[in-house]
């Protein structure tokens, strides 16, 4: 059975797609069977997949789904063939996020490094609480994105997020050019920037996500 992670957030620009690509591509690089679900009408994840195919790069399986993805004949039927499923949810589409939360093991909320970014999590937190009333087993966590090291803003980011009521992952994703360059090359950041800081923190994030979701790959029968 696949571990399903939904990248959630009603605010645009928080880093959902960037994070989804980074973790899905890293699991793929580790030899896992990975399904990447593009639930955003903007289609950035599918564009990345097209670029990867044109360049001859290996990539996760990518499919487009919408507000009906929770139906038994949709994502649940497809995800069972993969080790990890990553859902890139759109901003300002509560029906799609609700659907994703009905099947996810973990809702991962990327959040920028300012108090304003933290305040913007409110609507998403409400949707998670709503989903948990039906699925108490749903886990949720925040990952800090676009963090600028050695700045007052970066140093205060975790304090600003402390009141959201969710665990904040230890791994932060910095504000790094590699996160913008890798998708344009049709690559995951850990392959594009193998020895760089972006690759290192993305690998650590994947390690932490495996621990949060029990640390075991729940593989589908072969």
Paired residues of 3 in beta bridges = 84
Split at pLDDT 50, 70, 90, the class of 156 is: low
Is the per-residue pLDDT at 118 higher than 70?
Answer: yes
Longest Cα–Cα distance in the chain: 50
Is the per-residue pLDDT at 220 higher than 50?
Answer: no
Query: According to the CATH classification, is domain 3-212 in 3.30.56.10?
Result: no
Does this model's pTM top 0.95? no
- Interval 167-208: pLDDT, tens: 999 999 999 999 999 999 999 999 999 999 999 999 999 999
- For the chain, the domains span 3-212
On the 0-12 / 13-18 / 19+ scale of CB atoms within 10 A, 73 is exposed
Residue-wise burial string across 87-111, b where 16 or more C-beta atoms lie within 10 A, e elsewhere:
bbbbbebbebbbbbbbbbbbbbbbb
Is the per-residue pLDDT at 214 higher than 80?
Answer: no
Tell me what pLDDT residue 55 has: 96
Tell me what pLDDT residue 153 has: 58
> In sequence order, which ranges of 56-171 are alpha helices (DSSP H)?
75-79, 94-101, 115-119, 122-134, 152-161
């Amino acid at each position: 059975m696949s571990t399903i992670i939904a990248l959630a957030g009603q605010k645009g620009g928080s880093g959902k797609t960037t994070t989804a690509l980074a973790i899905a591509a890293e699991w793929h690089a580790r030899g896992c069977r990975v399904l990447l679900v593009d639930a955003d009408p903007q289609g950035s994840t599918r564009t990345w997949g097209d670029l990867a195919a044109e360049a001859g790069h290996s990539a996760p399986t990518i499919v487009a789904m919408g507000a009906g993805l929770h139906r038994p004949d949709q994502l649940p039927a497809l995800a069972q063939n993969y080790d990890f499923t990553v859902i890139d949810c759109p901003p300002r589409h509560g029906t799609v996020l609700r659907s994703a939360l009905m099947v996810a093991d973990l809702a991962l909320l990327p959040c920028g490094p300012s108090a304003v970014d933290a305040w913007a999590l409110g609507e998403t937190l409400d949707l998670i609480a709503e989903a948990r009333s039906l699925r108490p087993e749903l886990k949720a966590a925040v990952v800090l994105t676009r963090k600028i090291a050695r700045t007052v803003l970066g140093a205060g980011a975790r304090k600003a997020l402390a009141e959201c009521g969710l665990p904040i992952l230890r791994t932060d994703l910095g504000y790094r050019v590699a996160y913008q360059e890798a998708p344009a090359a049709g690559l995951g950041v850990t392959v594009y920037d193998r020895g760089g800081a972006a690759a290192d923190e993305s690998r650590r994030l994947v390690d932490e996500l495996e621990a949060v979701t029990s640390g075991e790959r729940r593989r589908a029968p072969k």
